[in-house]
């Protein structure tokens, strides 16, 4: 760097016969042009670098936004899965309870049916017993009467 802004303010050109010393002015102007060109090149490089950094920043902000959206969606999905799992668990428990009640009702109904059948069979057995007893008594009566007839015949002979 040839000049600072302060240097440029403090330059004093030598006076020549008709104005300033031309060589000195041209030399200063040449150095100012060099400095300005260097500043412009550096400024352009910095602008390019700034643009690259800005593009990367925008890219990473986009990624950050996508990640945040993904996290929100994942959280919502997780909440929905948990809620659905709870509902499914409740439904399974309700179905199990209904099934258990149905099994118990069926078992109670079967017990009643078996009890009814048992009582019916007891009545039939009792009726059969009474009938058999009646037949046996009739047979005994018949045997006794035959025995009595045999005895009467023997006495008569």
Q: What pLDDT digit, counting tens, does each position of 28-41 carry?
A: 888 888 888 888 99
Q: How far apart are CA 76 and CA 83, in angstroms?
A: 10
Structure tokens at 15: 């006076």
| Residue 2 near residue 34 (C-beta atoms within 8 A) | yes
Taking residue 77's Cβ as centre, other Cβ atoms within 10 Å add up to 10
**3-class DSSP assignment, residue 130:** helix
66-89 pLDDT, tens digit each: 999 999 999 999 999 999 999 999
In Å, how far are 25, 37, 65, 102 from 11, measured between CA atoms?
10, 20, 55, 109
Work out the percent of the chain whose per-residue pLDDT is above 90.
Answer: 64
Tell me the per-residue pLDDT of 106-157, one tens digit each, with 9 for 90 and over: 999 999 999 999 999 999 999 999 999 999 999 999 998 888 887 877 777 6
- Count of Cβ atoms closer than 10 Å to residue 8 Cβ: 13
- What pLDDT was estimated at residue 1? 64
Return the DSSP state at 20.
E
């Amino acid at each position: 760097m040839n000049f600072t802004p302060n240097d440029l303010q403090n330059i004093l050109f030598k006076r020549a016969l008709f104005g300033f010393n031309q060589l000195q002015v041209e030399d200063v102007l040449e150095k100012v042009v060099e400095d300005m060109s260097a500043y412009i090149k550096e400024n352009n490089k910095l602008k390019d670098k700034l643009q690259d950094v800005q593009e990367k920043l925008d890219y990473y902000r986009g990624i950050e936004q996508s990640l945040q959206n993904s996290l929100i969606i994942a959280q919502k999905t997780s909440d929905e899965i948990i809620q659905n799992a709870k509902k499914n668990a409740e439904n399974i428990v309700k179905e199990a309870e209904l099934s258990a009640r149905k099994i118990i009702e069926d078992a109670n109904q079967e017990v009643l049916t078996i009890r009814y059948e048992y009582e019916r069979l007891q009545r039939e057995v009792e009726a059969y017993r009474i009938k058999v007893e009646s037949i046996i008594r009739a047979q005994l009566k018949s045997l006794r009467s035959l025995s009595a007839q045999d005895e009467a015949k023997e006495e008569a002979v």
